[in-house]
Amino acid sequence: MAAIEPHVEANCKLDGAFRLEAGGELPSPEIRYAIYGEPNHRRDNVILVCHALSGSARVADWWPELFPAVFDTSRYCVIGANLIGSCYGSTGPSSLNPVTGTTYGPDFPLVSIRDMVHSQARLLDHLGIERLHTVVGGSIGGMQALQWAVDFPQRVERAIAIGAAPLSAMGLALNHLQRLAIQLDPAWRGGRYSAGEGPDAGLGLARGIAMLSYKSAELLAQRFARRPNRNGEDPYRSYSERFDVAGYLDHQGEKFIARFDANSYIVLSKAMDAFDLARGYESDREALRRIRARVLLVGISSDWLFPPEDVRDLAQRIRAAGRHGDYAELKSSHGHDGFLADMDQLAPFLTAALWRPAANPVPITRLPVARTANL
């Protein structure tokens, strides 16, 4: 299947100092974006698709099955934006700091999901998009969709978050160990490695740990069971020979190091950790009361990184705050990756959510302002 190409793919520079929630700033960061389809004359058909940890602005590259089943570009204008901190075109650790003339590397400032969303809002300003028909994403992409609904209630009609909630202690632990793996690699050099000489083994191990959290035990058992590695290795014979699941993880690690930067991994992993809608507001409830969008949260039955109960709890808290928080569950054995793997199930959820009327407009009176720099 030929890749679907965006109609526009470009960088947008956010002029001036972009101040960050944790206190740092980025001088004139750039946001890489891709647009599929076109805004209509009312500009009310724009869908912002937020990507997960290793994704990019090129939505059709990583969610191809949704074009055109869900993302019909004759109807909708689909926009993807690469995250600040990533390594797919937006300003990140491997970018040049225009002030110092050197790459940021490990000096890249701490960015939050809120910072990412606020940079996307600046991008939409630049594009002349006032309101979003829908903001949607899975995993970290879902975190962004929720942060959009809370931080920019006037700009979001529908928000869909799949396999996303604040990370539990288990999720925080998994992310921490992944960062340790990268930093354990002698090629890490405190993050000051040269291009092409990064901590490949450490990043590969981090990816291996992450892959386990993206898959369910059931799926791994179905796919690999206790079979020896398919290349003929005999794990009963020597220390170096592997079971099939180990060969798979190593292969996934190798694929990943060819396409991702270790400093970016740490930046995005920390942003994922810090996601908490209550931050900057009086309470979780006050944050959720800001929402004006119709929110759909989708849990994935076998997801143990973002357990469906956590996702359902968040939907309940949104409803308890008097807002529209629907919950649906993807019955999938794929684990967290279900949002990229079980398209036959996911697509109808998304299509239905796009067709639902926006939430009843709630008068925006005395909407508390978030205590954050870029609002």
Residue 373 in the binding site for a copy of itself (CB under 8 A)? no
Q: Which member of 59, 181, 330, 346 binds a copy of itself (CB under 8 A)?
A: 181
Region binding a copy of itself by CB under 8 A among candidate stretches 70-78, 207-215, 323-331, 364-372:
207-215
d(CA 4, CA 69): 13
Q: Which is nearer to a copy of itself, 270 or 356 (CB)?
A: 270
- Let me know if 95 is a catalytic residue: no
Question: Do you know the residue count of the chain?
Answer: 375
Residue 4 binds to a copy of itself (criterion: CB under 8 A): no
Examine residue 238 and tell whether it contacts a copy of itself (CB under 8 A). yes
**Binding pattern to a copy of itself, positions 247-286, x when CB under 8 A?**
--x----------------x---x--xx-x--x-------
Q: Which of 151, 185, 284, 303 is catalytic?
A: 303
What residue type is assigned to position 73 of the chain?
T
Over the Cα atoms of the chain, what is R_g? 20
Residue carrying structure tokens 């701490």: 110
Distance CA 273, CA 40 (A): 37
Beta carbon of residue 324, minimum distance to a copy of itself (angstroms, whole number): 25
- 347 interacts with a copy of itself by CB under 8 A: no
CA atoms within a 13 Å half-sphere pointing along the CA-CB vector of 285: 3
Q: How far is the CB of 246 from a copy of itself (least distance, A)?
A: 4
Comparison of 279 and 292: residue with beta carbon closer to a copy of itself: 279
Task: Give the footprint of a copy of itself on residues 106-145 (CB under 8 A).
Answer: 106, 110, 112
Which of residues 226 and 366 has its CB atom nearest to a copy of itself in the complex? 226
- 161, HSE (Cβ side, Cα atoms, 13 Å): 31
284 assigned to active site: no
Residue indicated by tokens 């160990």: 177
Burial class, 27, CB count within 10 angstroms (exposed 0-12 / middle 13-18 / buried 19+): middle
- Structure tokens that stand for 136 in this block: 């949607």
Is position 336 annotated as part of the catalytic site? yes
Token reading at 54: 């290793």
Question: Distance (Å, rounded) from C-alpha 13 to C-alpha 215?
Answer: 37
Q: Residue 186, interface with a copy of itself (CB under 8 A)?
A: yes
What does 200-260 look like in DSSP terms, one character per residue? HHHHHHHHHHHHHHHS-HHHHHHHHTTPBPTTS--TTT-SS--BHHHHHHHHHHHHHHTT-
Residue positions annotated with a catalytic role: 139, 303, 336
Would you tell me which residues interact with a copy of itself (CB under 8 A)? 22-23, 106, 110, 112, 166-170, 172-174, 176-177, 180-181, 184-186, 201-202, 205, 208-209, 212, 217, 220-221, 223-226, 235-239, 242-246, 249, 266, 270, 273-274, 276, 279, 304, 307
